[in-house]
């Protein structure tokens, strides 16, 4: 269950970001509590992906702060930010970032391997996540040999595999049909309810927002509306 009274596990305050001459984010405030599922919505170009990158410490804001698990993320050195990103966050990129030369299961194991887990335990846990997303049959195929939808589910499995405190997912159901899209949503929502993972997911599908506790709308780099899905 979401616990909105708890201290936020992730908070962005007064976030400003310019890319080139574009003022992409204009003073965004956002917070997510442990176990909450929040849908981030808004038209193409409104700054959703940029906001996720700032919250993950992949990009530094021009102004404002990012606090993860009670500690500032944005001001830490790159090496510390990368280590915290690995341990505390799962990220599903809008355009994928899995390694094509590795197999599906090797991609999913990667966070656990980097965190120093036992290889056998890594594989077991990765297969469990792939099974939950109905792609376990593809586990030993190279990523470059599976379909886009299968790769996308592998990306979601990888984001969940190391029990992160927060998952940031950029259009995780974007290229999926209804049935596989629901598998992804179920996996994300159960991470929230079973493990208290906070989930922030970008979507422009209303049916996806219906799975969330709350939605936040961005327009031209500012929050225009935040509420509960109808």
**Quick one: what does residue 116 bind among ligand ADP, Mg ion, none, with the CB cut-off 5 to 8 Å set by partner type?**
none
Least distance in angstroms from the C-beta of 224 to ligand ADP: 13
CB 133 within 8 A of CB 181: no
The region of 16-24, 126-134, 183-191, 208-216 touching ligand ADP under the rule CB under 6 A is 16-24
In angstroms, how far is the first alpha carbon of the chain from the final one?
A: 19
| Closest CB to ligand ADP among residues 59, 130 | 59
Q: Which residues contact 82 (CB under 8 A, 6 or more apart)?
A: none
Strand ranges (E), the chain:
10-19, 22-32, 37-41, 63-68, 71-72, 89-92, 166-170, 198-202, 214-219, 222-227
Number of residues that bind ligand ADP (CB under 6 A): 12
**Quick one: what does residue 178 bind among ligand ADP, Mg ion, none, with the CB cut-off 5 to 8 Å set by partner type?**
none
Least distance in angstroms from the C-beta of 224 to Mg ion: 17
What is the sign, positive or negative, of the torsion defined by CA atoms of 113, 174, 88, 15? positive
Least distance in angstroms from the C-beta of 24 to ligand ADP: 4
Rounded CA separation 54/39 (Å): 17
Least distance in angstroms from the C-beta of 195 to ligand ADP: 27
Does residue number 46 form part of the binding site for Mg ion (CB under 5 A)? no
Rounded CA separation 7/96 (Å): 31
Q: Which of 2, 35, 36, 49 binds Mg ion (CB under 5 A)?
A: 49
Q: Which of 5, 20, 177, 227 binds ligand ADP (CB under 6 A)?
A: 20
CB 208 within 8 A of CB 218: no
Strand ranges (E), 130-221:
166-170, 198-202, 214-219
Strand pairing partners for 18?
23
Residues 43-72, interacting with ligand ADP (CB under 6 A): 44-50
**Quick one: what does residue 45 bind among Mg ion, ligand ADP, none, with the CB cut-off 5 to 8 Å set by partner type?**
ligand ADP
Give the angle 13-1-90 at the CA atoms, nearest 5°. 55
The region of 20-28, 95-103, 106-114, 142-150 touching ligand ADP under the rule CB under 6 A is 20-28
Least distance in angstroms from the C-beta of 48 to ligand ADP: 3
Sites of contact with Mg ion (CB under 5 A) = 48-49, 94
Interface with ligand ADP by CB under 6 A: which residues? 19-20, 22, 24, 42, 44-50
């Amino acid at each position: 269950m979401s616990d909105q009274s708890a201290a936020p596990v992730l908070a962005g305050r007064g976030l400003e970001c310019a890319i080139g001459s574009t003022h992409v984010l204009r003073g965004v405030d956002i917070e997510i509590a442990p176990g909450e599922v929040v849908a981030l919505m808004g038209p193409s170009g409104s700054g959703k992906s940029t906001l996720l990158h700032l919250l993950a410490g992949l990009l530094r804001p021009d102004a404002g702060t990012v606090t993860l698990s009670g500690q500032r993320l944005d001001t830490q050195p790159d090496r510390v930010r990368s280590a915290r990103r690995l341990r505390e966050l799962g990220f599903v990129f809008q355009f994928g970032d899995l390694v094509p030369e590795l197999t599906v299961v090797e991609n999913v194991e990667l966070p656990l391997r980097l965190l120093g887990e036992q290889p056998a335990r890594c594989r077991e846990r990765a297969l469990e996540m792939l099974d939950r997303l109905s792609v376990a049959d593809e586990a030993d195929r190279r990523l470059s040999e599976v379909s886009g939808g299968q790769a996308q589910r592998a990306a979601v499995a990888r984001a969940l595999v190391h029990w992160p405190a927060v998952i940031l997912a950029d259009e995780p159901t974007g290229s999926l049909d209804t049935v596989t899209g629901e598998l992804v949503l179920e996996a994300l929502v159960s991470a929230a309810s079973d493990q208290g993972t906070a989930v922030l997911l970008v979507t422009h599908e209303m049916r996806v927002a219906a799975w969330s506790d709350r939605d936040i709308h961005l327009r031209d780099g500012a929050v225009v509306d935040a509420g509960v899905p109808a």
